[in-house]
């Protein structure tokens, strides 16, 4: 078979284990989509707009080795760039592919549609370079294989998005056939000497430690679930307490005895802030310190006794080891470490019992406490729970996850509206999991239309839409008239999206009894999504959000730097 540029690209994605690519059509990418469609193992999944398309690719990358989105020039790509920024911030390999002008037009002085209105079209490539780890332009077929492989390899190595633009008259031109995919996937190999030296330094640090504690951060999400299993083995081998940062909720199995809860400064699980503060050796794995994760810079504990293991480098005390990749380092370290459960036993002896939640009276107006009690009952070992930016983050930390349950959030980029399209992409990859979204009314208004794609593909996603009449998270940071929003009939929207053939369900719940019924209906409904709109009082929110909001507001409001 003779390969074309589009087929080469699609074959590479299929070789990587992708079965789907997300797309929005436009005249610069139509030929490309035709060529990519000839590769049978890679189905095209269409989205309502390019922002959502990018997020769908990002969600797919949370389940597979990579996600990919194909868009048209400028009008499409500019919208997708926001999702690309998100994938960069969240360390997810998303490949953005954009159709581009006919190669005869470069340097011709022609002014083309969908461009900025002058004849230099390189601006898009230049923009992409700022928000990806590799951005390439393919204007000649013979260069395509090399450039495509280079961009994909960079994305996988760096766990960051990459960008490829392809001239619209090049996508169907012949090129060479792809070789083994291992040339791309096997390109991240740690330096042996550094691995050994880092392991040695780590053992010395642990040897001197009485009270070690392991703290897992969001960066390990991007390293995949294989890494998560290896880190679990390390935690068990160490026998020390293990906490997860908010971004990493679910990345250590919570039923394991070593698991102590969430570490999030003042709003940590009971006893965990003190546990981390008093530790003489904090083993951070994939941790991210930002203003949100440190509660307005109040809990950034890192000193010379601590161990900092990140995806691409390790720092132990005052020594830096680059070329030490997490995936290689953890298996080297695990068999060498000695068990030290003393600190865990001390913690357990303090008996930080979880609060018991009483069942609300069935007809009483719904509260967030009752809502979360019922959501907890829905979480099984095959559940993936998406937590949208907003009060959902704070409630989400209190769920007890059975082993196998996963939580996804986007706390570094924090784009409201992310959850619906990202979950769409995730659910395309994982249709058999129990996929649940907790999303606020304000967030939902940004990307609501992508629910129709869940309907189109009969994906049984359960959307818990919290209608609290506004931007509560913003109210708690800094209030004003801008935090009020126009109400929608959210449940009613589903009928609009169903049109003549859809099988989505929209249900409203105002009290506990109604919610219970709605949840039963949603769990039984397998031919499409169910949106449950829950009515919550505008003043009812997580106490953690109130504490956190004040601290973040204080950090935002610091006086200007002098001089």
List all residues 6 or more positions away from 331 whose beta carbon is below 8 Å from its beta carbon.
Answer: 230
Residues 68/39, Cβ–Cβ less than 8 Å: no
Residue closer to ligand TPU, measured from CB, 344 or 438? 438
Residue closer to ligand TPU, measured from CB, 263 or 471? 471
Of 159, 160, 249, 415, the residue at the interface with ligand TPU (CB under 6 A) is: 415
Task: Name the segment binding ligand TPU (CB under 6 A); options: 108-116, 424-432, 447-455, 463-471.
Answer: 463-471
Residues 138/145, Cβ–Cβ less than 8 Å: no
Residue closer to Mg ion, measured from CB, 262 or 468? 468
Residues 395/540, Cβ–Cβ less than 8 Å: no
Residues 161/88, Cβ–Cβ less than 8 Å: yes
Binding partner selected for residue 473 from Mg ion, ligand TPU, none, CB under the kind-specific 5 to 8 Å limit = ligand TPU
Residues 52/425, Cβ–Cβ less than 8 Å: no
Residue 388 CB, nearest approach to ligand TPU (Å): 6
- Residue 392: closest CA among 529, 544, 243: 544
Residue 540 CB, nearest approach to Mg ion (Å): 11
* Helix H or strand E segment including 467: strand 462-467
- Count of residues near Mg ion by CB under 5 A: 5
Residue 416 CB, nearest approach to ligand TPU (Å): 4
- Count of residues near ligand TPU by CB under 6 A: 17
Q: What is the DSSP string of 260-313?
A: EEEEBTBTSSTTHHHHHHT-SEEEEES----TTTTTTTT-----TT-EEE-SSE
Helices (H), 38-143: 50-61, 77-89, 123-131
Q: Scanning residues 426 to 455, which ones bind ligand TPU (CB under 6 A)?
A: 440-443
**Measured on CA atoms in the order 322, 325, 330, 336, is the torsion positive or negative?**
negative
Which residue in the block uniquely carries the two structure tokens 């002896």? Answer: 349
- The residues with which 407 forms a beta bridge, in sequence order, are 385
- Answer yes or no whether residue 468 interacts with Mg ion by CB under 5 A: yes
Residue closer to ligand TPU, measured from CB, 328 or 441? 441
Taking each helix axis as running N to C, give the angle between helix 419-429 and helix 50-61, from 0 to 180 degrees, rounded to the nearest 10: 50
Distance separating alpha carbons of residues 360 and 369, to the nearest angstrom = 9
Strands 313-316 and 319-322 turn out to be antiparallel
**In 200-275, beta strands by DSSP E:** 212-216, 242-245, 259-263
Residues 315/308, Cβ–Cβ less than 8 Å: yes
Residue 439 CB, nearest approach to ligand TPU (Å): 6
List all residues 6 or more positions away from 478 whose beta carbon is below 8 Å from its beta carbon.
Answer: 553, 556
Of 211, 314, 472, 542, the residue at the interface with ligand TPU (CB under 6 A) is: 472
**In 388-433, beta strands by DSSP E:** 406-408
Residue 173 CB, nearest approach to ligand TPU (Å): 39
Q: Scanning residues 383 to 402, which ones bind ligand TPU (CB under 6 A)?
A: 389-392
Task: Name the segment binding ligand TPU (CB under 6 A); options: 95-103, 409-417, 506-514, 521-529.
Answer: 409-417
Residue closer to ligand TPU, measured from CB, 307 or 439? 439
Tokens of 335: 């068999």
Distance separating alpha carbons of residues 200 and 193, to the nearest angstrom = 11
Helix (H, G, I), strand (E, B) or coil at 530: strand
Residues 449/519, Cβ–Cβ less than 8 Å: no
Residue closer to Mg ion, measured from CB, 261 or 470? 470
Residue closer to ligand TPU, measured from CB, 106 or 413? 413
- Closest residue (Cβ) to ligand TPU? 440
Q: Taking CB under 5 A as the rule, which mask of x and - marks residues 434-453 in contact with Mg ion? A: ------xxx-----------
Residues 94/161, Cβ–Cβ less than 8 Å: yes
Residue 326 CB, nearest approach to ligand TPU (Å): 29
Residue 233 CB, nearest approach to ligand TPU (Å): 36
Of 473, 518, 522, 534, the residue at the interface with ligand TPU (CB under 6 A) is: 473
Task: Name the segment binding Mg ion (CB under 5 A); options: 250-258, 464-472, 526-534, 537-545.
Answer: 464-472
Residue 201 CB, nearest approach to ligand TPU (Å): 40
Task: Name the segment binding ligand TPU (CB under 6 A); options: 4-12, 15-23, 27-35, 414-422.
Answer: 414-422
Binding partner selected for residue 89 from Mg ion, ligand TPU, none, CB under the kind-specific 5 to 8 Å limit = none
Residue 415 CB, nearest approach to Mg ion (Å): 15
Binding partner selected for residue 195 from ligand TPU, Mg ion, none, CB under the kind-specific 5 to 8 Å limit = none
In the 8-state DSSP scheme, what is residue 441? H
- Answer yes or no whether residue 414 interacts with ligand TPU by CB under 6 A: yes
Residue closer to ligand TPU, measured from CB, 154 or 468? 468
Binding partner selected for residue 443 from ligand TPU, Mg ion, none, CB under the kind-specific 5 to 8 Å limit = ligand TPU
Q: Which residues bind ligand TPU (CB under 6 A)?
A: 389-392, 414-416, 440-443, 466, 468, 471-474
In the complex, the residues that contact Mg ion under the rule CB under 5 A are 440-442, 468, 472
């Amino acid at each position: 078979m003779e390969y074309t540029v589009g087929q080469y690209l699609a074959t590479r994605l299929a070789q990587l284990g992708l079965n789907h690519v997300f797309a929005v059509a436009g005249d610069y990418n139509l030929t490309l989509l035709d060529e990519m469609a000839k590769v049978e193992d890679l189905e095209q999944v269409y989205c309502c707009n390019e922002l959502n398309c990018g997020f769908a690719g990002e969600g797919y990358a949370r389940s597979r080795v990579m996600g990919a989105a194909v868009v048209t020039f400028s009008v499409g790509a500019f919208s997708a760039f926001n999702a690309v920024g998100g994938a960069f911030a969240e360390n997810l390999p998303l490949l953005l592919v954009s159709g581009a002008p006919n190669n005869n037009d470069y340097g011709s002085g022609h002014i083309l549609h969908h461009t900025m209105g002058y004849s230099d079209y390189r601006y898009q490539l230049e923009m992409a370079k700022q928000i990806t780890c590799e951005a390439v332009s393919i204007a000649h077929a013979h260069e395509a294989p090399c450039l495509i492989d280079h961009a994909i390899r960079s994305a996988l190595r760096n766990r960051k998005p990459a960008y490829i633009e392809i001239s619209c008259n090049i996508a169907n031109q012949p090129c060479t056939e792809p070789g083994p995919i291992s040339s791309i996937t096997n390109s991240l190999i740690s330096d042996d000497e550094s691995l050994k030296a880092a392991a040695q330094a780590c053992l010395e640090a642990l040897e001197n430690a009485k009270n070690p504690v392991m703290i897992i951060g969001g960066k390990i999400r991007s390293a995949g679930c294989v890494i998560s299993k290896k880190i679990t083995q390390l935690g068990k081998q160490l026998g020390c307490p293990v906490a997860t940062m908010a971004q990493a909720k679910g990345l250590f199995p919570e039923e394991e005895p070593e698991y102590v809860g969430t570490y999030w400064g003042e709003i940590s699980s009971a006893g965990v802030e003190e546990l981390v503060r008093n530790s003489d050796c904090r083993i951070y794995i994939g941790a991210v310190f930002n203003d949100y994760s440190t509660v307005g810079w109040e809990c950034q504990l890192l000193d010379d006794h601590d161990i900092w293991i990140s995806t691409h480098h390790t720092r132990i005390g005052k020594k830096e080891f680059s070329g030490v990749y997490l995936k290689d380092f953890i298996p080297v370290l695990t068999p060498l470490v000695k068990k030290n459960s003393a600190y865990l036993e001390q913690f357990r002896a303090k008996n930080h019992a979880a609060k018991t939640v009483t069942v609300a009276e069935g007809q009483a107006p719904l509260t967030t406490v009752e809502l979360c009690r019922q959501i907890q009952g829905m979480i099984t070992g095959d559940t993936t729970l998406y937590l949208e930016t907003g009060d959902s983050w704070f409630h989400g930390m209190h769920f007890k996850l059975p082993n196998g349950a996963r939580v996804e959030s986007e706390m570094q980029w924090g784009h409201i509206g992310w959850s619906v399209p990202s979950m769409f992409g995730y659910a395309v990859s994982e249709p058999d999991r129990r996929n649940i979204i907790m999303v606020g009314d304000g967030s939902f208004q940004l990307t609501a239309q992508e629910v129709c794609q869940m309907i189109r593909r009969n994906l049984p996603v359960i959307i818990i839409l919290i209608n609290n009449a506004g931007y509560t998270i913003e109210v708690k940071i800094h209030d004003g008239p801008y935090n009020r929003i126009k109400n929608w009939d959210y449940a009613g929207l589903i009928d609009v999206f169903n049109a003549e053939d859809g099988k989505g369900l929209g249900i409203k719940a105002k009290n506990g009894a109604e919610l219970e019924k709605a949840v039963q209906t949603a769990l039984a409904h397998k031919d499409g999504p169910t949106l449950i709109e829950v009515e919550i009082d505008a003043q009812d929110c997580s106490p953690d959000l109130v504490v956190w909001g004040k601290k973040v507001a204080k950090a935002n409001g610091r006086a200007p730097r002098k001089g």
